[in-house]
Structure 1
Amino acid sequence: MKQAQVCIVGGGCVGLTLALGLAKADISVVVIDASKNQTLPGDDYALRVSALSLASQGLFESLNVWPEIIKQRATPYTSMDVRDQDSFGKIHFDHNDLDLPQLGYIVENDIIRYALISELEKQSNATLLFETRYQQIHQTDSDVFITLESGEPVIAKLLVAADGANSAIRKQFNMPITFKDYDHHAIVATVKTADEHNNTARQVFLPTGPLAFLPLPDKHTHSIVWSTSPEHCDTLLALDDSNFNKAVMAALDGQCGLCEVQSERMAFPLKMRY
């Protein structure tokens, strides 16, 4: 049997950040997650990245995970270029406008998760249970009982559901939800360009949806997120690499020159849940 003040189901970036904050505030915590423990990321860039604001950087600094993130891979973006393809609408600003060293950082989610786990493993009052699923959840007036698939019980005062957009805990406890399907899918991939990105985060608004180019550590490499209709998404995914490269370069209006996709392409439906 395991006991803690807080049990968190879900070991993604959000659940792990909360767990580390609690542990450092001298609150005992157990994290349950069905996925494997995060290993050190390899040489290839992961497809899922996050744009971390200076506020997020400050949070990670306070939790002592920022040094590990910087040690691995993190790309500062010092300027932003946002424009509308069908009009003269455009805005460009950089760190000098705000007297800042940078506007934020682009970091792979796997690296954020690795850094959080590395620091959590040093906390004596934090227990991480990876490749672990729960079977049942029961609550009384004073405690929550979580029964793992192994049969082992976990007892906590508070249960936190950090188990994602399709939260099984939310469904079990009939928590109300407002839902909206944006009728868009986001294609993510890693793209190399002929021109350097110059630490600029770019976004162009197309008739079908926005395309973002986010700088990665290699000065010619970007993580792209292309939001478009499901039908157009299927068309883009079906293209061979050569034609996809042309489509991406045309959509960005050639800002970074010739494009060359470096990874597989994946798509995710975009939905709002509140």
Structure 2
Amino acid sequence: MIVTWLGHASLFLNAAGKTLLVDPWFIEPVDGKYRFPPPPYAVANAMPRPDFLLLTCARNEHASEATLSQLKRDTVTLAAPEVLPRLSALQFNKVKPQEPWSSTSLSPGLSVTFVPGGAFVVEADDVRLFHGGDAALSADDFREVARRAGPIDMAFLPFTADDKQRGLQRFFDGIVGLQAKEAAPFASGWLRLENVDSHFAQRATHAEALAAAMKLAHENGTHLAHLQSGDEWSPETGAINKGLVDGWSEDVASLHRYAAQLSRAS
């Protein structure tokens, strides 16, 4: 299994000879939001066509109509029930609705289990990957995932780098509950162009939050992988930096530069 993080909650998986695209976000802005750092691929046709599409929820940064419109309508699609009306309107014709704890065999050696709340586990070649989506899971919920699915090799967990927000505690709960071999924070890099200063630009606790996450992961026997958008991960190699968005950092100056570029392009 080789996993490429495409920014926010989007992943591209090569597993058991097949490819899966998860929660794509190609068209910006979405509800006034842009990804930060910028995405490694700006359009769907810059990537290989996926064999399967996985959609965890109907929020626009996970399954916007504009992004889905770029994809082939005959792509086999596993989707949470709330996404079905949008897929129907766009005339996707190979949709497999998913219910909590439903498991779907996509091909020999490749299966997907949907978790209540909009998360899932992909199993391929004896490797299990957890994608947290926007699921609001407790530590006990995460333990139930591990009990049902088996040991997790890699967990992509939403990470809110602000100890005043519930999202950070959910990340900690995922570390404690899943006891995964490795975990990676994701789904935290976006900004509002019209209000750069007051959103993710002012995260005084970001470094402290990440340090706390690394400490907790170490205490629980989980290796914390810090991926940049476009980086790859596999169980054999761990994280591989691809350098697609090098030079970007989550500081106020970079946010302002990015916002200025977007303004000139619009």
TM-score with structure 2 setting the length = 0.29
- Larger relative contact order (CA 8 Å, sep ≥ 6): 1
Find the structure with the greater CA-based Rg.
Answer: 1
TM-score with structure 1 setting the length = 0.29
